Amino acid sequence: MGRKILFITTDQQRYDGLGCNGGTIARTPVIDGLAANGLNFRRAHNQNTVCMPARSTMISGQYVRSHGVVMNGIPLPLDGPDAAATLRDQAGYRTALIGKAHFEPASAPDQSYFENFAAREDNTGPHRGFERMELAGHTGRAGRSLFHYPKWLAENHPEATDGFFEYVTEKKEISSREGGDTGLSQLWHNPIPRDQYHTDWVADRAIAWLDSLPDEDDWFLWMSFPDPHHPWDPPASELHRCPWRDLDLPDFYPGSPEKIREILSGKPRHWLEWYDGKGQFNYEVPPLFRPNTLTPDQVREVNAMVHISNELIDEACGKVLDRIDARGWGQDTDVLYTTDHGEMQGDMGLLFKGPYHVDSLMRVPMIWRPAPSADVTPQAIEEPVGHLDLAPTFCQIAGIDADGRMEGAPLPQNAGSGRERVLTEWDSNYLGNDLRLRTIYRDGYVCTAYEKTNYYSGEEGELYNLNEDPRQWRNLWDDPAHAGLRSDLLADLHDNLPAPREPALEAVALV
């Protein structure tokens, strides 16, 4: 019997949403305990700031431009490297994914992908290296893709389905509907009992799968929570945890519209155009929402909802870890925790996510609590790492060679690894606005080059000194005193980007 692997992901969770990463509102003792007894990577970045590209990188161990899922709506090819399949085929691991997958577009018009039809056909796999998949999304309502969670809810608690926000992004008036106490798009009071909500459902189904395994099996379980991603509609019974009226505005919220406009005016023009509602640059936000209408109270209420969701996730993780201990597996189980991307939550006066390469979206929590039997010294590690390092790490834990097509490396287990950089990309053409961003983090700087498109000339960019400007409010791109550093970072960026996939993959849907 070897080491088991519990891989926990959330969706759209800020790095600073956890107590172990400086968060002071949400109580996250379970995840904080994993960090205290393991490795907390202080400078982990995703390789893309939306769901499908980020998740495809996690499972494949490849850069976005290599696996080809450069934006939402492009299905991950089945013939690429797959960490779950590698563990299953080379080391005999039992494998499951419970919760949100999103390797395939939920809105595919012909509904021809496994994630579209699996629940409708009572199919739980195998698929993509996982012998079992039970899927959930961001709602308990039946949508175009009927995932396993809304089907379970409709069959067992039909009265609870309509309490969710109707998350249907192709209908502008529905996806932009206002709710909560402050009348914001995708804020909603959900009357569902907590034990029927998808956070607890994911944990319960994960426990059910673990309970189906013999004691001697090795296993890889990806437990994937859909929260704290919008719509912000956790169970209303839990709103007492964080009354939004009692919250201070977060430090990263600039405050007045004048201050927001001053900050955004120093960045490439799509920042301010998005704020003013003069342009839209990605599909993953409510189409009728305009950031310049966002009020301080709405920022408070969004943050309260996120803190509540984070607490519920933490408690769900504790329930699963307790079950692992009860099965006698605790000493031999590695736990890894991360998210796909962050959330603005009022940063720069904005909400949601998109082509904005700043810490609120790129920097992600990444925690590895190695199995206690592995005898790894707990510590915080400052060297940069990325999502593409997860798949090789799973292989290392299992004692097998990683697929040679994986481009990451096993996460370091000690400080002083010599790692220097981490890269993030963005490619999209939404409503005719073609944006292509290439970003490097190195030595405390974030440098983003904008490639030439129909929207940008190729001369634009962003450069931030995080030691002096952690909120990334002052763009140093055009500062003559930083011209040499900018050139050096850009050269390093392009020297380390792999060649793009040829031919490029086509999007079959928007999300």
Calculate the alpha carbon distances from 428 to 50, 70, 436 in Å: 11, 8, 7
Rounded to 10 degrees, the C-alpha dihedral 341/495/492/62 comes to 20
The answer to whether residue 169 scores a pLDDT higher than 70 is no
- In a 10 Å sphere around its CB, with 0-12 CB exposed, 13-18 middle and 19+ buried, how is residue 109 labelled? exposed
Calculate the alpha carbon distances from 49 to 18, 339, 357 in Å: 19, 11, 8
pLDDT tens figures, 205-214: 999 999 999 9
The answer to whether residue 469 scores a pLDDT higher than 60 is yes
Calculate the alpha carbon distances from 474 to 47, 48, 226, 373, 439 in Å: 23, 23, 33, 46, 17
CATH architecture of 4-417: 3-Layer(aba) Sandwich (3.40)
The domains of the chain are located at 4-417
pLDDT tens figures, 367-397: 999 999 999 999 999 999 999 999 999 999 9
Q: What is the pTM for the complete model shown?
A: 0.98
pLDDT tens figures, 255-279: 999 999 999 999 999 999 999 999 9
**How high is the mean pLDDT of the chain?**
96
CA proximity to 170, closest of 96, 107, 85 = 107
pLDDT, position 252: 97
Across 184-196, b (16+ Cβ under 10 Å) vs e yields bbbbbbbebeeeb
